[in-house]
């Protein structure tokens, strides 16, 4: 959107200054067009006219974004807010302060990210090149970045030690870049993104892929050890008796170890 104003004055410089005052900008930020040169009065009394200058300025992408933000915040009941523009490489950081603006952040910044996305669309509506818009409230972005950096380094160290991959929750491209940068600082760790759209997330693992550990073998127990179990041990401890000689001897205790003759004599007396 183009804004313009017409200023008048006794001189061209005075007319330019008046036009800039109306626009609320510095002279270095605007373009000028001289509409009329000043004409002196004849004999100092008759005729004459002031200089007339038109100044105009094109709204920058950041200005468009700020205007859009003000309209959105006003519609949600936030009238007492201030938006500060900080120019960055290929974009701008817009810091929102004043009033009760904390609720705009949302769960893990989801509301703030959505508003940032819409503001970016407005800022790039008429531009041929991409202009990145970043929104921030109460230094939330800095605090979130510190948290993500610590998380990325921690999981990277864990992946190197365990030899296994670690998957993080879905994140937006900005936060995924923070994780990738943090992982690069941990030797032996690497990271990549998986998933589509809203499910896009970062995976952190050891360089060269996962290192699977061999499955541990079950310990071998000797069946002759009663305390370790086994068939023989179980039979001794369970009270189960087979069909062998020992079982027969248990039924006829007097027939053990040389007492067979006494046993037969006893049966003979019973018959008589």
Domains 61-138 and 142-206 share a fold: no
Residue 226 is predicted with a pLDDT of 47
Task: Tell whether pTM > 0.75.
Answer: no
Q: Which of 59, 196, 183, 173 is nearest to 127 (CA)?
A: 59
Across the chain, how many H-helices and E-strands are there?
Answer: 8, 9
The answer to whether 204 and 159 are in contact (CB under 8 A) is: yes
**256: pLDDT strictly greater than 80:** no
pLDDT in tens, 118-136: 999 988 876 677 889 999 9
The CA-atom distances, in angstroms, between 30 and each of 1, 27, 48, 55, 228 are 14, 6, 28, 6, 93
Per-residue model confidence (pLDDT) at position 90: 83
Range list of H helices, 42-84? 61-75
> What are the sequence ranges of the domains in the chain?
2-58, 61-138, 142-206
Pick the CATH number of 142-206 from 3.40.30.10, 3.40.1440.60, 3.30.1540.10, 3.30.1370.50: 3.30.1370.50
Rounded to the nearest integer, the mean pLDDT of the chain is 79
Structure tokens at 240: 């189960």
> What whole-number distance in Å separates Cα of residue 32 and Cα of residue 19?
9
Identify the DSSP state of 254.
G
The CATH architecture annotation of domain 61-138 reads: 2-Layer Sandwich (3.30)
- Dump pLDDT digits (tens) for 51-94: 998 888 777 888 889 989 999 988 888 888 899 999 888 899 99
Instruction: Give the pLDDT band of residue 96 (cuts 50, 70, 90).
Output: very high
Q: Is the confidence at residue 26, as pLDDT, over 50?
A: yes
> pLDDT at residue 267 above 60?
no
Q: Which pLDDT tens digit goes with each residue over 107-118?
A: 888 899 999 999
For the segment 199-244, what is each residue's pLDDT rounded down to a tens digit?
Answer: 999 999 999 888 866 555 555 555 554 444 444 444 444 444 444 4
| The pLDDT of residue 5 is above 60 | yes
What the block records as the tokens of 223 is 């069946």
| Closest-CA residue to 134 (of 152, 109, 151) | 109
Label residue 96 exposed, middle or buried (CB < 10 Å: 0-12, 13-18, 19+). Answer: buried
């Amino acid at each position: 959107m183009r804004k313009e104003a017409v200023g008048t004055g006794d001189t061209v410089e005075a007319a330019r200054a008046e036009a800039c005052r109306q626009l609320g900008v510095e002279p270095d930020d605007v373009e000028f067009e001289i509409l009329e040169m000043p004409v002196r009065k004849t004999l100092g009394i008759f005729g004459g006219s002031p200089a007339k200058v038109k100044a105009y300025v094109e709204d920058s992408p950041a200005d468009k974004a700020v205007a859009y933000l003000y309209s959105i915040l006003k519609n949600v009941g936030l009238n007492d807010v201030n938006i500060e523009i900080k120019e960055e490489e290929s974009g701008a950081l817009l810091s929102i302060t004043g009033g009760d603006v904390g609720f705009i952040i949302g769960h893990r910044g989801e509301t703030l990210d959505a508003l940032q996305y819409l503001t970016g669309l407005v800022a790039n509506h008429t531009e041929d090149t991409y202009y990145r818009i970043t929104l921030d409230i109460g230094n939330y972005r800095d605090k979130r970045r510190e948290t993500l950096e610590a998380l990325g380094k921690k999981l990277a160290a864990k992946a190197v030690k365990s030899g296994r991959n670690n998957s993080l929750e879905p994140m937006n491209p900005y936060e995924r870049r923070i994780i990738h940068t943090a992982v690069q600082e941990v030797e032996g760790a690497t990271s990549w993104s998986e998933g589509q759209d809203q499910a896009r997330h970062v995976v952190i693992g050891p360089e060269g892929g996962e290192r699977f550990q061999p499955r541990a073998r079950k310990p071998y127990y000797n069946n002759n050890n009663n305390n370790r179990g086994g068939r023989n041990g179980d039979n001794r401890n369970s009270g189960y008796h087979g069909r062998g000689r020992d079982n027969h001897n248990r039924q006829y205790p007097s027939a053990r170890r040389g007492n067979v003759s006494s046993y037969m004599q006893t049966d003979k007396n019973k018959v008589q």
